[in-house]
Chain A
Amino acid sequence: EAGVAQSPRYKIIEKRQSVAFWCNPISGHATLYWYQQILGQGPKLLIQFQNNGVVDDSQLPKDRFSAERLKGVDSTLKIQPAKLEDSAVYLCASSRRGGGANEKLFFGSGTQLSVL
């Protein structure tokens, strides 16, 4: 089966600019996650969707970050305006069912964002 697709692979922007990332999960997977991974750290959950509804966005900086998953399939994550501390890898993941216990996550290759 095809894996989780993400684009772009790399993005370099200046602070205060905006940027958008795209993710297409594995076909049929109900739950989609966006994680932020800063160099040397573990992934930090930004937002979790089940189908097209938000399950958890408690760690999403809502003043600058937004995400949507229209039609319950692919998703976009936007940052506007970007800050230097947003430099990180943004990982999209999906899981088959409702994102509960016993669900293993399948990750995309990520988008490496550098904010200058």
Chain B
Amino acid sequence: DAGVIQSPRHEVTEMGQEVTLRCKPISGHNSLFWYRQTMMRGLELLIYFNNNVPIDDSGMPEDRFSAKMPNASFSTLKIQPSEPRDSAVYFCASSLGRDREQFFGPGTRLTVL
């Protein structure tokens, strides 16, 4: 199994630009999670989906952030417009169920200049 796949692995962009991060969960997993990790705040849950439906987006910092899961094998996290404080590593994780162990992808390192 290829595991959770994220792209791009690194993204450098300028303030104000739109950024789209992509995630392919492990085949057969029905729960998908987006996390953000910074030195200051550690690892934070942004949003999670179950069966492609957003269940809890209380961790999404503000309206500039949006996430979609159009089908069971693909999800996106979009930031528009991006700001320097959005610089972080963004992880996607999937699991067989909301209460099961999560498998994390390699992350996307985002730098907003």
A binds B: no
Residues of A within 8 A of B (CB): none
